[in-house]
Amino acid sequence: MAGVAVVTGGSAGIGLATARRLAERGWSVALIAREPARLEEAAASITARGARVLAIPADASDAAAIDAAAERIEATLGPIRAWINNAMSTIVGPADKIGPDEYRRVTETTYLSAVHGTLAALRHMKPRGRGAIVQVSSGLAIRAAPLQAPYCAAKAAVGGFTDALRAELIHERVGVSLSVVYLPAVNTPQFDWSRTRTGRNQVAPDPVFSPALCAEAIVGAVESPQREIWVGRSTLMMAAAQAIAPGFADRKAAEAWDSQLSDGAMPDRKGNLFEPVPGPAATEGRFGDREKPTRTEFWTSRERDLLMLGVAGSVFLGSAAVAGLLSAPRRLLRGR
């Protein structure tokens, strides 16, 4: 299936890990990111893997820039077969200490970037009737956490947008897949780039997973589309807790306040919310000593559906057996 894949936020972290994995599997890759120097370094690392690559400096929250990028990619590399919406930014702090401009900016970079990327991809994929669009989301879209209200809300909005659009594509019988990949805490440089307003540094709470695991799941969603994928045991547990016992999940989330913050004091950081910050084209962050060494820990909605089908079948058979006993003659129930 290899063709042309686009990765927004592709100059570091999960985006770069995904782009490299795609290149290893024979894809041509277009990278979109804000920081030109890091973007060129990322592109060079993919070229070294023998893949064609196109680096486009652009802000994914700028709809016109993303439309122009899509046109340039089609003209340079060829028809877009896959589009991965990975761009994001965040601010860490109590909800009532975050300003309206900061809420707006997180919404633009984390939610609207996915909207703009999806619609740009659809303009090219829909007439051809094929393609794969992947939304890189978070377990925090399912079970929100304290200190990250703007980010949690933006990621939840991505899910609502994607579900609505998926229904439209089904109605129109358009063969473009839409997948959402929910990620856990991941060891990426983002934890050094986030804007903070807590007097402490942001840290990744345990368990921490590798960008390579996330890349495997995302590339899997491209090459074998699934409606949803949950990466890491913590993401699966968050989804289950929110579905089964949301009040309990609220209390457990409240306990996560300190687990997201360093022990020592640190001045608040401006971060990359409004402007990119310098740094290398690295996939890994500073939590390597706590990173889980797995590249297979993710589950798909297909597996969930099969599990639920099995549970429903067991319940049905059990109910039928009980109904049969209750409707049996009294002498049978008494063992006579």
Active site residue ranges? 151
Residues across the chain? 336
Q: CA-CA distances (angstroms) from residue 113 to 61, 77, 177?
A: 4, 22, 18
* CA separation for the pair 39, 54 (Å, rounded): 10
Sequence-ordered strand ranges (E) for 208-313: 208-209, 228-231, 261-265, 291-292, 298-300
Cβ–Cβ under 8 Å, residues 5 and 125: no
What distance in Å separates the CA atoms of residue 283 and residue 118, rounded to the nearest whole number? 24
Beta-bridge partner residues of 180: 135, 228
Rounded to the nearest 5°, which phi and psi values hold at 69?
-65, -45
What number of H helices and E strands is found in the chain?
11, 15
In this structure, which amino acid lies at residue 76? T
DSSP-derived 3-state class of residue 312: helix
How does DSSP classify residue 62? -
Identify the three-state secondary structure at position 287: coil
